[in-house]
A = this chain, B = another copy of it.
Amino acid sequence: MNSDVVELVRRMLQGDVRALARAVSLVENDAPSARQILSCCFPYSGSAMRVGVTGSPGAGKSTLVDGLARRYRAHQATVGVVAVDPTSPFTGGAILGDRIRMREHDDDPGFYMRSMATRGSLGGLARRSAEVAAVIEASGKQRLLLETVGVGQDEVDIVRLADVTIVVLVPGMGDDVQSIKAGIMEIADIFVVNKSDREGADRVEKEVRSLHSLAAQHESWIPPVVRTVATTGDGIEELEQAVDRFWSWLAEEDRLTARREAQWRDRVMEMISHELLRTIRGHGLSDQALAAIGHQVVRRELDPYQLVPELVEQLTRGEKDGKDRSPGHCG
């Protein structure tokens, strides 16, 4: 155990914001010490309420998350925010908005926010979001807000880290709302119709409610529809209450535990996958070797469908390599 890591986590647990920021960065960047940090933080995580917020770009999620965070702070609950933008892997555009949003909380030790706009070459954004959230939670935050841009699979994966999932819709999105509805109905615990002072709010609400009767809802909870105008704060109190009601429902019949166990099963598999790749990259599959494979495959000198299972078998058995994997052995 690296004593620097122990010291860093100790300072973080005592409320040192700079230590928290450092620990989060190390984890976000998959630094060599990341695993130790996560291991040290692990016993201190698991008690926060995790609220995921997703919806189309422009739906007003950031303002909504700010509103919720402000209410929680007003009730003395400490708050962490992880804002994830998988659609902007290169620009880092989210960061600027993030800095502006953080400024007003600059002197509040009970609030911490981190935005993540980049991703690794083989995914892993959901994994790293989960890890960043775990570190922030371990620092003592009682409410964790996970905010994602967009409604693709990445967002679904990220939101699946949450105990409570809020899907934000807005009036006037036309085709877009129609086409995303199917994919997000299944993950919503609570729907928000934001910008509900705009024309069409009734229609959106009606559509969501009509889908309730079609979709198979989880057990006895029917996702409520809360109308908000996040910019004025209208409806944020009602949203907070809806979240609390869902939280109480989760507490019954071990539902929260069951949900978190299912999440951990997925996460453990994802972690194993990541660790296996890291191992194979460390066991001879250098960038150079990989480039040579790409070279041969494109020229049809090497059949990847033969190569890969054999590489994996070697790795898991420690065998040596020397086979002919040129294509055309079929039949």
Using CB atoms and an 8 Å cutoff, list the residues of chain A in contact with chain B: 1, 3, 6, 9-10, 35-36, 38-40, 42-43, 46, 56-58, 86-91, 93, 119, 121-123, 125, 149-156, 173-176, 178-180, 182-183, 186, 257, 260-273, 275-277, 279-280, 283, 285, 290-291, 293-295, 297-298, 300, 303-309, 311-313, 315-318, 327-331
Contacts and interface: CB of A to CB of B under 8 A. Distances in A.
Contact of A265 (B153, B275, B290): B290
Nearest to A156: B89
Given A93-B182, A275-B312, 5 more contacts: A35-B309, A38-B305, A173-B176, A261-B297, A315-B316
Most buried by B among A38, A297, A317: A297
Contacts of A183: 87-91
B331 A40 contact: yes
- Nearest 5 CB-CB pairs, A to B? A152-B152, A58-B175, A57-B179, A40-B330, A261-B294
A153 B43 contact: no
Contact of A266 (B93, B121, B285): B121
Given A176-B56, A176-B176, A330-B1, A305 B39 contact: yes
